Amino acid sequence: METGTMMMLVLVASIAILIFLILRVKIHPFLSLIIVCIFVGVATGMPLPKIATSIENGMAGTLGSLAIIIGFGTILGKMLEVSGGAERLARTLLEKMGEKRAPWAMTIVGLIAGIPVFFEVGFVLLFPLVFIVAKQAKMSLLRVGIPLAVSLMVVHSMVPPHPAAFAITTTLGADVGKVILYALLIGTPTAILAGPIWAKFISTKCKTGVLKESEGIATPVENLPSFGITLFTILLPLFIMVGKTVSTLFLSKDSSLLPIVTFLGNPLIALLISVFVAYYTLGLSRGLKMKNLLTLTEQCFGPIAGILLIIGGGGAFNGILVDSGVGNELSKILMSLNMNPIILAWLIAWLMHLAIGSATVAMISTAGMVAPMLAAYPGMSPEIIVLAIGSGAIGWCHVNDSSFWFVKEYLGLSLPDMFKSFTAACLIASFVSLGGILLLSLVI
């Protein structure tokens, strides 16, 4: 059997084993990824000590700076939660836009408030507002809830500093500032089409449940931070990172300011600055003491252990694919297909999410598969490939994805109605964003 054919059989078998372990045996994705790494190493004839070294190096390379980024981002999300900042954003936007545009307001809230928090955290944090808004605007929970869920999913999959988006940005050597700019440019119309527009169409064809009154109690307005301060605090890390990207376009290589701008624009430094700003604007200035901030910070880190391990496991999988030679063989086969690399990256992530049920695992795994291919396309923007992977991972949020069940239970939808509303919305978002990425690739 030819080496290339054997390598591809190993890759296909490894993905099948990964799916089987996660879905059927119910083994945690992190453990499943490590088992699959060992399988690939043994099946391709790697020396046993090298397999262990490859796994260690793959995890270390992926988690090196990412663990710090995730830690800082989690602190920002916690400050947004405890301060009531998310509720302030939603209530102010609703006041300005009017109740009839409530679904549009919730889309904007999801795009902004979703930046520092994970999908599940953002949805749980903001859902009480969905109940309040739906009741006031006399709309169904689906009409208001789906736009929020879709916008959170778009940000989760495409916009750094979200863990998976940042991880593949690093893996593919893309510029973080450019990825953020392009992602917001593509993600905003995507969230609108798949959110309020789709929800208006499908809401008359689905039936949502009714939640208890106590779940929709609004916080007194005097207890909330101001809209301007909240918005500034959430967007500050993006301003700094994008500012660095824009500044480097105008500063010469000999400029004395360039090292300073580059340093401040590093995601690690940008988020560190933003954390201390959030400590003041959403904490100390509102009566919290340093001991309160210490307690809140300690509460942040426990829940992110699982996501860190999953991403680390994905990094180990990437490392073993490269060290075993499977990555190079896959690159040759993918290039022989003569398929647009953007569509190819999107399709792999799309299929991986369909099979595995985790957008994060799908994105990390896909990046490892397509990274060797980029060398054969010197003119291809790595930022575009990052967006393509994120776009593909938005699609196919169904029964093997925890996000699916979060939305289902909170909106009180039946399984058929969930497929018709949220799963369909994610597929629409995936295809719409792919179209936008293809158009963007023509001009950059």
CB atoms within 10 A of CB 409: 11
| Model pLDDT for residues 311-322, shown as the tens digit of each residue | 788 778 878 887
For residue 209, pLDDT over 70 is answered with no
For residue 216, pLDDT over 70 is answered with no
Looking at the chain, the whole-number percentage of residues with pLDDT higher than 90 is: 41
Q: What is the structure's pLDDT at 395? A: 92
Angle formed by the axes of helices 141-158 and 102-113, to 10°?
A: 30
Banded model confidence at residue 307, pLDDT cuts 50, 70, 90 = confident
Indicate the length of the chain as a whole number: 444
Q: What is the structure's pLDDT at 147? A: 96
Q: What is the structure's pLDDT at 214? A: 42
What gap in Å lies between CA 166 and CA 178, rounded to an integer? 12
Q: What is the structure's pLDDT at 313? A: 84
Q: What is the structure's pLDDT at 55? A: 93
What gap in Å lies between CA 137 and CA 365, rounded to an integer? 42
pLDDT (mean) for 219-245: 88
Looking at the chain, the whole-number percentage of residues with pLDDT higher than 70 is: 97
Banded model confidence at residue 136, pLDDT cuts 50, 70, 90 = confident
pLDDT (mean) for 424-441: 97
Contacts for 105 with CB less than 8 Å, ≥ 6 apart: 90, 93, 94, 97, 133
| Segment among 99-103, 147-151, 215-219 with least mean pLDDT | 215-219
Q: What is the structure's pLDDT at 218? A: 63
| Model pLDDT for residues 157-204, shown as the tens digit of each residue | 999 988 889 989 988 999 999 999 999 999 999 999 999 999 999 988
Residue 271: closest CA among 309, 295, 235: 235
What gap in Å lies between CA 148 and CA 126, rounded to an integer? 8
| Model pLDDT for residues 323-357, shown as the tens digit of each residue | 888 877 876 777 777 889 999 999 999 988 887 77
DSSP calls for 109-166: HHHHHTSSS-HHHHHHHHHHHHHHHHHHHT--HHHHHHHHHHHHHHHHHHSTTSHHHH
DSSP calls for 318-364: HHHHHHHTHHHHHHHHHHHTT--HHHHHHHHHHHHHHHHS-HHHHHH
Mean pLDDT of the chain: 87
For residue 380, pLDDT over 60 is answered with yes
For residue 37, pLDDT over 50 is answered with yes
Q: What is the structure's pLDDT at 376? A: 76
| Model pLDDT for residues 79-134, shown as the tens digit of each residue | 988 898 888 888 888 888 887 899 999 999 999 988 887 787 788 778 877 887 88
Q: Where are the domains of the chain?
A: 3-441
| Model pLDDT for residues 388-407, shown as the tens digit of each residue | 999 999 998 887 787 888 88
Provide the token pair at 173. Answer: 């050597």
Q: What is the structure's pLDDT at 358? A: 80
Q: How far is CA 403 from the centre of its chain?
A: 12
pLDDT (mean) for 245-257: 85
pLDDT (mean) for 196-223: 74
Provide the token pair at 270. Answer: 């940008």
Q: What is the structure's pLDDT at 217? A: 57
Banded model confidence at residue 22, pLDDT cuts 50, 70, 90 = confident
Q: How far is CA 154 from the centre of its chain?
A: 7
Provide the token pair at 347. Answer: 């399709």
Banded model confidence at residue 426, pLDDT cuts 50, 70, 90 = very high
For residue 291, pLDDT over 70 is answered with yes
- DSSP H helices, 258-325, are 258-265, 267-281, 290-301, 305-324
